[in-house]
Amino acid sequence: MARILIIDDDPDLLEMIKLLIERRRGHEAVLSADGESGVQKALEQPPDLAIVDVMMPGMTGYDVCRRLREAPETASIPILVLTARGQPVDREAALQAGADEHMAKPVTMTDLMEKIDGMLAEHSAAARPHTIAMASLKGGVGVTTLAANAAATLSRAGARAICLVDLCPSSGHLALHFGHRPRPDWSKLMREDVIDAQAVDALLLEVSAGLHLLASPIVPPVERALRRPTVKALLEILEERFDLVIVDTPSILNEATTTVLDLSSDTWLIVTADPAAVQTTFGTVRALGERAKGFPVILNEVTSTQRTSPDAIERVLKRPLAGTVPFDPDQAKALAQGKPLALHRPDAPLAKAMEELTNELI
């Protein structure tokens, strides 16, 4: 059941839509006869969808859209502008104000309900937790660099809540990319039979506004390892809290890695032009079989000279490259300073490439 806010100064239309969505779909309808009170109701208890008229006394529907988009509580809710103004210029004005859809009155209740159903379904799909695994079974190909910069790119773009997870069992380096000491870390989770949200929250580092990190321990655990139930519970907890989780996976097909690959929404396979890295990626794809069928392969150019051409890599792997991250001489300095290029130098070649990749793949 969805909570739908309807803002319109026509009382008859308000009641008609209320009956429609409550009786036919079982949704909850919240009514408002003016823009100011409608915005207030939305901020007090954000709806799952807002239907907004344009021509109202006081605050117009366009102003309502702008106010809802400006407030963090309502910035991502779907907004349908339902108005008697039905010209193309009116639709454009509604979209520019922040609406997702525009419908012109008069409208049949069947068409309106179909539009509401579609917008709710689309929003529900977009709102599902998203976990991306960054993977390579060959060390030194820059998986950690790309994971850090992908998260930094999305954080700079305004993604609301992102968590980076460094699952490297041999002293990972994600925290260093942000100039932080990797403390606390996930090693405490290995000693717990059951983990909960409070325990996980205590281990998170906030490395940037809206961007958190679960670090790998400095001292590699020798006698213990992350087991599937722990990793599964960890991802479930993080997906409840964050809009996006990016996992820097170990460069070995251990239990933690296979669990992440099984549960992630997407997996990026990272390869360099080094023949050894290409061979390892080929073996990884063969080992994972059908599981790896939809994994995009990203070429990370870690040096200024490439030993294997992109065409040759595609022929070996029998799949196209989903993107290329060019060599950036400033990356070494960025790591030493603890300042990801995507966050502090968005004009850098690596940062621009990460922006293109995240726009296309996430």
CA–CA distance, 186 with 237 (Å, rounded to integer)? 14
Phi, psi (rounded to 5 degrees) for 323: 175, 165
| Residue 147, domain CATH | 3.40.50.300
Is 127:208 a contact under the CB 8 Å cutoff? no
Q: Which of 126, 145, 166 is the last residue of a domain?
A: 126
Residue 27 is part of which domain span? 3-126
For residue 72, the model assigns a pLDDT of 80
CA–CA distance, 203 with 191 (Å, rounded to integer)? 14
- Which two tokens mark 341? 């290029």
106 and 166 part of one domain: no
82 and 140 part of one domain: no
166 and 240 part of one domain: yes
For residue 129, the model assigns a pLDDT of 60
Q: Which of helix, strand or coil describes residue 247?
A: strand
For residue 319, the model assigns a pLDDT of 94
For residue 1, the model assigns a pLDDT of 80
| Residue 11, domain CATH | 3.40.50.2300
Is 330:345 a contact under the CB 8 Å cutoff? yes
The structural domain count of the chain equals: 2
112 and 135 part of one domain: no
183: left (phi over 0), alpha (psi -120 to 50) or beta: beta
80 and 173 part of one domain: no
Q: Which of 99, 126, 153 is the last residue of a domain?
A: 126
Q: Which of 96, 111, 126 is the last residue of a domain?
A: 126
96 and 149 part of one domain: no
203 and 70 part of one domain: no
119 and 256 part of one domain: no
203 and 330 part of one domain: yes
| Each residue's pLDDT expressed in tens, for the chain with a length of 362 residues | 889 999 999 999 999 999 989 988 889 999 999 999 999 999 999 999 999 999 998 899 999 999 999 988 898 899 999 999 889 999 999 999 999 999 999 999 899 999 999 998 887 766 556 899 999 999 999 999 999 999 999 988 776 689 999 999 999 999 999 999 999 999 999 888 789 999 999 999 999 988 999 999 999 998 788 999 999 999 999 998 898 999 999 999 999 999 999 999 999 999 999 999 999 999 999 999 988 988 999 999 999 987 899 999 999 999 999 999 999 999 999 999 999 999 999 999 999 999 999 988 87
103 and 150 part of one domain: no
Q: What is the 3-state secondary structure (H, E, C) of 2-60?
A: CEEEEECCCHHHHHHHHHHHHHHHCCEEEEECCHHHHHHHHHHCCCCEEEECCCCCCCC
117 and 193 part of one domain: no
257 and 222 part of one domain: yes
